[in-house]
Amino acid sequence: MITIFHKNTCSTSRKVLDILKNSEKEYKIIEYMKTPPTADDIRSLVKKLNIPAEKLVRKKETLYKEKYADKNLTEEQYIEIMAQHPELIERPILVKGNKAVIGRPVEIVAEWLG
């Protein structure tokens, strides 16, 4: 079972969802703006992605630029701001078991799905 953390207004996320639909793999959709992940969920994602939390943050978002760009944040602070502001989470994220990938660029998704 593959889980996709999806934002319907994101064209990349919609493209990745289309790839999943055409893959014949089982999947479930988490619309993370409607059902935001907790800090524990984000910690788990970061671990499965094998990246620092900072790499999961959308730094081009206005909210990030206005409130956080000039701060030296810790791993835990990055996790907390993503839990408080899910719009700052990079997307889409695909999870299968203990592995995850950020579906950008879209081309990596087909390879990741195997």
Residues tagged active-site:
10
Give the DSSP letter string of the chain. -EEEEE-TT-HHHHHHHHHHHHHT--EEEEETTTSPPPHHHHHHHHHHHTS-GGGGB-TTSHHHHHHTTTS---HHHHHHHHHH-GGGB-S-EEEETTEEEE--STHHHHHHH-
Query: How long, in residues, is the chain?
Result: 114
d(CA 24, CA 1): 11
